C-alpha cells in the first residue's frame, strides 16, 4: 500500500531539495553575493511546479484507446504523445486571451492610452540587465555623436523630439517587433496564422511576466562588478573619442586660417598682386573638346577615373584585323568548289530528311506538321540511314566545274545586277556589254550608297541604255512598266518577235531593280509569278517556242533566288489548278511547268513545298489516267521521263512509273501477252494502238508536239508507236539503273524482264530489226542487275534495336516506412495534397480559436455585467440601508419626542 498523500508530498519535497535543512546566516550571505539565490529560486519554482503536476491526477489526460503493442507499429512506444494536460493548456489559453483579447476588448472604442516605447521593453530575449545596459550604451552614443545641440555644422537629422529628456524614436519599436517575429523560433516553422501570432506574442509577454518578479528585485539590487567595469570602460572610451574630435576640429580651423593668410598679407600691403596668367583656358578652345572637358572637369580624380574607364574600353575594343588578301585565281576556284560542295552536301541532307546544319531549326517541325494527322509519324531518318537505305550512298555530283555565268548568279549581292545581263539570249552580242555593264552597275551601286539612293533613274537609265545600244535593235523601247497581271504582260509583248521577249524581260528586271525603289521588290515578285504563268501559257500555244520558254524559265530561276516565296507560290498555284481541273489530262503547259519545277527546285528533297506535290501530280496522272490514244501514251511517256528526272539524284521508288511503262508496253506490243506478266494492273486501251507495220519502220526521237497532235497517216502512226516503244524501253532501262540498289529490285524488275522477253518474241518479224537490238541490250542489262541483286540479297535485319526493358512489376520498397507519411511518386499531387491537409488543419484550428474567443468574450461580458449588477445591488442596498437608517433615526427621534412629551404630560 502506498503511503498517504501527505507523506508522499513531504518525501518529494525533500527529494527535490525544496525543503532542506536550515542554512546558516553566513551561507545565506554568500549565496546572496554570488547570485546563487536567484538560480536557486528558479530551480525551486520549477521543482514545485513539477510536484504540483505530479500530485494532481486530474491535470493529465490519458488517451482513451490503449496504445498498440510495439510489434504492431513502427512508431515505437510514444510515451509523450498521449499524455496531454488539458487543464494546463486551457488555463494557458485563458491567460493569453486575457492578455490580448481582453485588452483589445477594453480598448475598443477608446482613443489614446500609453505606449511603452522604451528600448527592449517588448523584447523577451533580453534580460532586464541587458536592457538597461543597452539603453545606457545608446544614450551615451547619442551624446558622443553630437557635441552640442546647437552645433550647426552637424546634420540636423539628429535633432529629435524628446519627452522628459528621453528621445522618442518610433523606429526602435518597429525594429523590436521585427526582431521578435524572427526570434519566435519555436513555432515559426509553421505558418503562423494571425491568431497564433498573437498568441506567440502573448506567450512571450507572459514569460516576461513570470520573470518580472525577479527582475523587479534586480533593479533595486546593486550593479555587479562586471557591469560597473563595463560602464567605466565605456566612459573612458567615450572621453578619449571626445578628445580626438576636439583635436581634429582644431586642426581644421588652423588650415582654414592658413589659407586666408595670403589675402591677409595683401590687405596688409595695400596693393594687388599681378593677375595670374591663365594658359589652360586659351588651350581649351583649340584642343579636342573632349579632352578639354576632361581637363576642365570638376576634379582631377574624375578625369583619372574617366581615363581608366577609357583605357578599359579600349582593351575590350576589337583589334583591327588584317583585311582579306586579294585571292589568286586558284584560290577563288578552290573556294568556289568548296562552296558548291557545301551546297551539294546540304542537298544530300535535305534528301535524307535531315536538318540542314546552318539553316532554320524549325524545318523538322514543318516536316512533322505536314504529315498526316495520325499519331505514328515519327520518322527517324537516322535510323533509316543506319539500315543502309540506298539514299545513304551517294557521291557528290561532279558538277563542280561551273561556268562564270552561273557562278556569279549565286553571290547574293550580285545576282540581281548581273544576272540580267547574263541571261540575255544573244550572248555573243552581249559579250562586250557584259563587262561595261557590270562596271557601270557596280559604280552605280557605290554611288547609291554614297548619295543614299537619290539619283537612281539616271543610273538605271545608263545601264539600260548600254544594254539597248549593244543589243542592236533600235526599235525596242527602253523602259517598260512592270506588268501587274499576265494579260498586261501578253499585251506588252504583243507583236514583239520571240527573240526579243527575253530582252524585254531583262529590261523590266533592270528597271525595277529592288535597289531603285522599295516597292520594286514586291513588283518583281509579282512579275516572277507572271513569268511562271507565261511559261505554261506559251507551252499551250500551238507552236511553242522552247528557246523562249527556256530563257524565261531561267529568268524565273534567277528571280527565285531573290523571291523564292513568290515563285514557289506561283508554281503551287499552277499545281493546284492542275489537281483541281484536270488531274488526269495534263496539258502541254502543265508538263512545261512540271519540267520547270525539275530545274528550279531541288526534286531530291525529302520534303519540299513544291516538288513533293509535283511528284504527287505526276504519280496521280500515271496511276489513274486513261491511256487510249497515241497522244495519251506520248503524254504518259513524257510524264514518265519527267519522273525519272525528278528521281535522278534521290533515287526514290515510284510504283506508278513501272506500272505505267509496263501497261503502255502491253498495249503497244504487236501481240497481246497471253498471261499476266506481273502484279501491275493491266488496263486495255479503248482503241487498239498495237504495232502493225506493213513495212519497215525506224524509231525516231519523240517530239514535244506529239503530245498534242497525233498523226493521221498510217506510216507516221506506226513510226510514233515504234518510237514510243523504244522510249518506254529506254525509260525502263534508266529506271533499272536508278533502282538497282533497292532491296526489292528482283520483285520490281522481274515483270519488266518478262515484258521484254515477250517483246523480243513478238519482234521476230523483219520489220522490227531496228528495235530488236535495243530490247536485247536492255534485257541484258536488266538480267545483269537481277543477278547482282540476287547476289546482294540477304534476309532482312530490321530489328537490331536494343531490346526494350521489360516492365518491372516489383513494388517499390520503402526503407523506414511510415504509415502516416504519404509516398506519392507524383510530386505535384503530393504537394497539393500536403497543402490541402494543411489548409484543413489550419481552418479547423482557426475555427476552434474563434469559437473559444467568442466564448471568452461572452464570459467576460457576463462577468462584467455581473459586476455591474452586483455593484448596483450594493449601491441600492446601501441607499436603502441609509434611508432606513435615517428613517429609523427619525422614528427614534419621534418616539423620543413623543415619549418626552408624554413624560412632560
Partner 1 sequence: MPAPVEASKKRKSSKNAGAPSKRRAVAEDDFTETLSTIEKLENEIAESRKHYNNISTLISMLDVEKSAKKPELAVAVSLCRVFSRLMAAGNFAESSRAAENEKIITAWLKERCLEYQRALLAIMREADTTSQVCEPRLYRGVKVKLTRNPQITALTLSMRIIKERITHIPGAENAVWSTNFKHIVEAVIEAQDGQDLQTEFIEKFVKEFEDVRYHTFGEIAEYASIRRSSDVFDSLVAILSACDDVPGDDHEFENFFATPGGKNKRLTSVNSHKKRAQEAWLAILRNNISQAQRKSLLRIMVHHIEPWFSRPELLMDFLTDSYNFGGATSLLALSGLFYLIQEKNLDYPQFYAKLYSLLDADLLHSKHRSRFFRLLNTFLASTHLPAALIASFLKRLARLALNAPPSAIVVIVPFMYNIFKNHPTCTFMMHREIRDKDLAADIEAAGMDDPFDPTEKDPTRTGAIESSLWEIETLQSHYHPNVAAIARIISEQFTKQQYNLEDFLDHTYQGMVEAELGTGEKPLRKVPVVEYQIPKRIFTDRLLAEDGGVDSGPAAFMRGLWDFS
Q: In the window 789-828, what residues touch partner 1 (CB under 8 A)?
A: 789-801, 804
Identify which of 613, 844, 634 has the alpha carbon closest to the alpha carbon of residue 721. 634
Minimum gap (Å) between residue 806 Cβ and partner 1: 13
To the nearest 10°, report the CA torsion of 560, 615, 346, 382.
150
Check: CB of residue 198 under 8 Å from CB of residue 97. Answer: no
Minimum gap (Å) between residue 338 Cβ and partner 1: 14
Q: Which residue of 158, 283, 383, 449 would you call a contact of partner 1, by CB under 8 A?
A: 383
Does 658 contact partner 1 by CB under 8 A? yes
Minimum gap (Å) between residue 528 Cβ and partner 1: 11
> Which uninterrupted H or E stretch holds 99?
helix 86-99
* Binding positions for partner 1, 188-217, rule CB under 8 A: none
Minimum gap (Å) between residue 594 Cβ and partner 1: 11
Does 731 contact partner 1 by CB under 8 A? yes
Does 408 contact partner 1 by CB under 8 A? no
Mutual angle of helices 412-422 and 501-511, in 10-degree steps: 150
Grid-cell match 540476287, residue found: 790
Closer CB to partner 1, residue 200 or residue 658? 658
Site string for partner 1, 536-565 (x = CB under 8 A): ----------xx-xx--xx--xx-xx--xx
* Binding positions for partner 1, 572-591, rule CB under 8 A: 572-573, 575-576, 579, 583
Does 534 contact partner 1 by CB under 8 A? no
Does 678 contact partner 1 by CB under 8 A? yes
Please report, for residues 34, 302, 490, 492, 528, the alpha-carbon distance to residue 495 in angstroms, rounded to integers and kept in the order given.
128, 80, 10, 9, 22
Does 785 contact partner 1 by CB under 8 A? no
816: left (phi > 0), else alpha (psi -120 to 50), else beta? left
Does 337 contact partner 1 by CB under 8 A? no
Task: Indicate the length of the chain as a whole number.
Answer: 905
Three-state SS at 162: strand
Dihedral sign (CA 149, 154, 156, 159): negative
Minimum gap (Å) between residue 491 Cβ and partner 1: 25
Minimum gap (Å) between residue 615 Cβ and partner 1: 5
Cβ contacts of residue 288 below 8 Å, gap of 6+?
A: none
* Binding positions for partner 1, 92-131, rule CB under 8 A: none
Three-state SS at 355: coil
Report the distance separating Cα 202 and Cα 145, nearest Å: 37
Closer CB to partner 1, residue 116 or residue 380? 380
Q: What are the two backbone dihedrals, phi and then psi, of residue 793, each rounded to the nearest 5 degrees? A: -75, 130
Does 682 contact partner 1 by CB under 8 A? yes
Q: Which residue of 498, 743, 757, 760 would you call a contact of partner 1, by CB under 8 A?
A: 743
Does 418 contact partner 1 by CB under 8 A? no
* Binding positions for partner 1, 634-653, rule CB under 8 A: 638, 641-642, 644-648, 650-653
* Binding positions for partner 1, 288-317, rule CB under 8 A: none
C-alpha cell recorded at residue 460: 538605271
Q: Which residue of 360, 431, 473, 897 would you call a contact of partner 1, by CB under 8 A?
A: 360
Minimum gap (Å) between residue 325 Cβ and partner 1: 27
* Stretch of 109-117, 175-183, 355-363, 710-718 contacting partner 1, by CB under 8 A: 355-363
Report the distance separating Cα 708 and Cα 439, nearest Å: 47
Please report, for residues 74, 187, 345, 852, 884, the alpha-carbon distance to residue 349 in angstroms, rounded to integers and kept in the order given.
63, 65, 6, 77, 122
Does 69 contact partner 1 by CB under 8 A? no
Does 497 contact partner 1 by CB under 8 A? no
Does 858 contact partner 1 by CB under 8 A? no
Report the distance separating Cα 141 and Cα 134, nearest Å: 10
Site string for partner 1, 684-713 (x = CB under 8 A): -----------------xxxx---------
C-alpha cell recorded at residue 19: 525543503
Does 412 contact partner 1 by CB under 8 A? no
Q: What is the CA radius of gyration of the chain?
A: 55
Q: Tell me how many degrees the CA angle 149-154-158 measures, rounded to the nearest 5.
A: 60
Report the distance separating Cα 44 and Cα 580, nearest Å: 105
Does 6 contact partner 1 by CB under 8 A? no
Q: Which residue of 379, 629, 710, 760 would you call a contact of partner 1, by CB under 8 A?
A: 379
Closer CB to partner 1, residue 350 or residue 717? 350
C-alpha cell recorded at residue 525: 515578285
Minimum gap (Å) between residue 335 Cβ and partner 1: 15
Report the distance separating Cα 505 and Cα 492, nearest Å: 10
Check: CB of residue 748 under 8 Å from CB of residue 652. Answer: no
Strand blocks (E) in 57-201: 162-163, 166-167
Report the distance separating Cα 772 and Cα 802, nearest Å: 54
Closer CB to partner 1, residue 475 or residue 675? 675
* Binding positions for partner 1, 606-635, rule CB under 8 A: 606-610, 612-613, 615-617, 619-620, 623-624
Closer CB to partner 1, residue 271 or residue 804? 804
Closer CB to partner 1, residue 133 or residue 625? 625
Report the distance separating Cα 603 and Cα 560, nearest Å: 15
Minimum gap (Å) between residue 357 Cβ and partner 1: 14
Does 446 contact partner 1 by CB under 8 A? no
Amino acid at each position: 500500500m502506498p503511503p498517504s498523500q501527505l507523506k508522499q508530498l513531504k518525501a518529494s519535497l525533500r527529494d527535490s531539495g525544496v525543503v532542506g535543512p536550515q542554512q546558516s546566516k553566513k551561507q545565506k550571505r554568500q549565496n546572496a553575493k554570488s547570485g546563487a539565490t536567484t538560480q536557486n529560486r528558479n530551480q525551486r519554482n520549477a521543482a514545485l511546479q513539477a510536484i504540483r503536476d505530479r500530485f494532481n491526477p486530474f491535470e493529465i489526460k490519458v488517451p482513451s484507446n490503449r496504445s498498440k503493442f510495439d510489434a504492431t507499429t513502427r512508431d515505437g512506444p510514444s510515451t509523450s504523445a498521449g499524455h496531454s494536460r488539458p487543464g494546463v493548456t486551457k488555463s494557458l489559453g485563458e491567460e493569453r486571451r486575457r492578455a490580448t483579447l481582453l485588452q483589445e476588448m477594453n480598448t475598443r472604442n477608446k482613443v489614446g492610452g500609453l505606449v511603452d516605447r522604451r528600448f527592449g521593453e517588448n523584447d523577451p530575449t533580453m534580460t532586464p540587465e541587458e536592457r538597461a545596459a543597452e539603453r545606457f550604451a545608446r544614450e551615451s552614443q547619442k551624446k558622443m555623436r553630437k557635441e552640442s545641440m546647437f552645433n550647426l555644422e552637424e546634420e540636423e537629422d539628429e535633432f529629435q523630439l524628446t519627452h522628459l529628456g528621453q528621445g522618442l524614436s518610433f523606429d526602435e519599436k518597429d525594429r523590436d517587433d521585427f526582431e521578435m517575429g524572427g526570434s519566435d523560433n519555436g513555432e515559426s516553422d509553421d505558418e503562423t496564422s494571425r491568431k497564433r501570432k498573437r498568441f506567440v506574442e502573448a506567450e512571450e509577454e507572459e514569460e516576461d511576466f513570470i520573470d518580472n518578479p525577479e527582475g523587479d528585485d534586480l533593479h533595486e539590487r546593486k550593479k555587479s562588478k562586471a557591469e560597473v567595469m563595463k560602464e567605466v570602460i565605456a566612459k573612458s572610451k567615450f572621453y578619449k573619442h571626445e578628445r580626438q574630435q576636439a583635436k581634429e576640429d582644431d586642426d581644421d580651423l588652423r588650415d582654414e586660417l592658413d589659407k586666408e593668410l595670403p589675402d591677409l598679407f595683401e590687405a596688409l600691403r595695400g596693393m594687388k598682386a599681378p593677375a595670374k596668367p591663365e594658359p589652360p583656358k586659351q588651350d581649351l578652345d583649340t584642343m579636342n573638346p573632349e579632352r578639354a572637358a576632361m581637363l576642365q572637369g570638376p576634379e582631377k580624380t574624375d578625369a583619372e577615373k574617366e581615363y581608366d574607364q577609357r583605357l578599359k574600353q579600349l582593351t575590350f575594343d576589337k583589334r583591327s584585323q588584317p583585311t582579306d588578301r586579294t585571292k589568286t585565281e586558284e584560290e577563288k576556284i578552290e573556294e568556289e568548289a568548296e562552296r558548291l560542295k557545301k551546297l551539294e552536301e546540304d542537298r544530300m541532307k535535305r534528301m535524307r530528311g535531315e536538318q540542314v546544319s546552318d539553316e532554320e531549326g524549325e524545318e523538322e517541325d514543318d516536316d512533322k506538321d505536314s504529315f498526316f494527322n495520325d499519331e505514328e509519324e515519327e520518322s527517324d531518318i537516322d535510323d533509316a540511314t543506319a539500315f543502309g537505305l540506298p539514299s545513304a550512298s551517294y557521291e557528290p555530283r561532279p558538277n563542280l566545274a561551273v561556268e562564270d555565268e552561273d557562278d556569279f548568279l549565286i553571290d547574293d549581292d550580285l545576282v540581281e545586277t548581273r544576272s540580267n545581263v547574263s541571261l540575255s539570249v544573244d550572248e555573243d552580242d552581249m559579250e562586250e556589254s557584259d563587262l561595261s555593264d557590270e562596271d557601270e552597275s557596280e559604280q552605280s551601286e557605290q554611288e547609291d550608297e554614297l548619295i543614299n539612293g537619290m539619283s537612281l533613274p539616271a543610273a538605271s537609265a545608263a545601264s539600260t541604255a548600254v544594254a539597248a545600244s549593244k543589243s542592236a535593235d533600235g526599235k525596242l523601247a527602253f523602259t517598260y512598266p512592270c506588268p501587274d497581271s499576265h494579260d498586261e504582260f501578253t499585251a506588252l509583248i504583243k507583236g514583239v518577235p520571240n527573240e526579243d521577249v527575253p530582252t524585254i524581260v531583262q529590261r523590266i528586271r533592270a528597271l525595277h531593280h529592288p535597289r531603285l525603289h522599295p516597292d520594286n521588290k514586291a513588283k518583281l515578285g509579282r512579275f516572277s509569278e507572271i513569268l511562271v504563268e507565261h511559261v505554261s501559257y506559251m507551252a499551250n500555244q500551238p507552236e511553242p517556242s522552247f528557246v523562249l520558254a527556256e530563257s524565261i524559265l531561267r529568268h524565273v530561276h534567277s528571280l527565285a533566288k531573290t523571291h523564292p516565296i513568290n515563285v514557289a507560290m506561283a508554281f503551287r498555284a499552277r499545281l493546284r489548278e492542275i489537281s483541281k481541273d484536270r488531274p488526269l489530262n495534263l496539258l502541254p503547259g502543265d508538263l512545261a511547268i512540271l519540267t520547270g519545277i525539275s530545274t528550279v527546285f531541288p526534286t531530291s528533297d525529302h520534303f519540299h513545298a513544291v516538288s513533293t506535290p509535283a511528284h504527287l501530280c505526276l504519280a496521280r496522272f500515271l496511276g489513274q489516267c486513261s491511256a487510249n490514244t497515241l497522244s495519251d501514251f506520248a503524254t504518259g511517256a513524257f510524264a514518265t521521263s519527267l519522273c525519272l528526272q525528278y528521281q535522278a539524284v534521290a533515287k526514290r521508288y515510284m510504283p506508278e512509273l513501272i506500272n505505267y511503262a509496263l501497261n503502255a508496253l502491253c498495249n503497244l506490243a504487236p501481240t497481246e501477252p497471253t498471261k499476266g506478266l506481273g502484279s501491275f494492273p493491266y488496263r486495255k486501251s479503248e482503241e487498239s494502238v498495237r504495232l502493225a507495220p506493213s513495212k519497215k519502220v525506224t524509231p525516231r526521237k519523240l517530239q514535244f508536239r506529239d503530245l498534242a497532235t497525233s498523226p493521221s497517216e498510217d506510216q507516221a502512226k506506226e513510226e510514233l508507236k515504234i518510237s514510243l516503244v523504244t522510249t518506254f524501253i529506254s525509260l525502263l532501262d534508266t529506271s533499272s539503273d536508278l533502282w538497282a540498289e533497292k532491296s526489292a529490285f528482283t520483285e520490281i524488275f522481274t515483270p519488266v524482264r518478262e515484258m521484254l522477253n515477250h517483246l523480243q518474241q513478238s519482234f521476230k518479224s523483219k520489220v522490227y530489226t531496228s528495235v530488236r537490238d535495243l530490247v536485247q541490250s536492255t534485257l541484258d542489262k536488266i538480267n545483269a542487275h537481277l543477278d547482282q541483286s540476287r547476289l546482294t540479297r540477304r534476309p532482312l535485319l530490321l530489328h537490331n534495336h536494343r531490346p526494350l526493358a521489360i516492365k518491372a512489376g516489383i513494388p517499390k520498397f520503402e526503407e523506414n516506412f511510415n504509415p502516416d507519411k504519404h509516398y506519392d511518386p507524383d510530386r505535384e499531387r503530393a504537394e497539393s495534397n500536403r497543402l490541402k491537409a494543411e489548409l484543413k488543419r489550419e481552418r479547423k484550428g482557426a475555427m476552434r480559436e474563434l469559437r473559444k474567443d467568442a466564448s471568452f468574450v461572452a464570459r467576460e461580458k457576463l462577468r462584467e455585467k455581473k459586476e455591474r449588477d452586483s455593484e448596483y445591488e450594493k449601491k441600492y442596498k446601501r441607499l436603502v440601508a441609509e434611508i432606513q437608517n435615517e428613517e429609523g433615526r427619525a422614528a427614534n427621534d419621534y418616539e423620543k419626542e413623543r415619549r418626552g412629551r408624554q413624560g412632560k404630560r
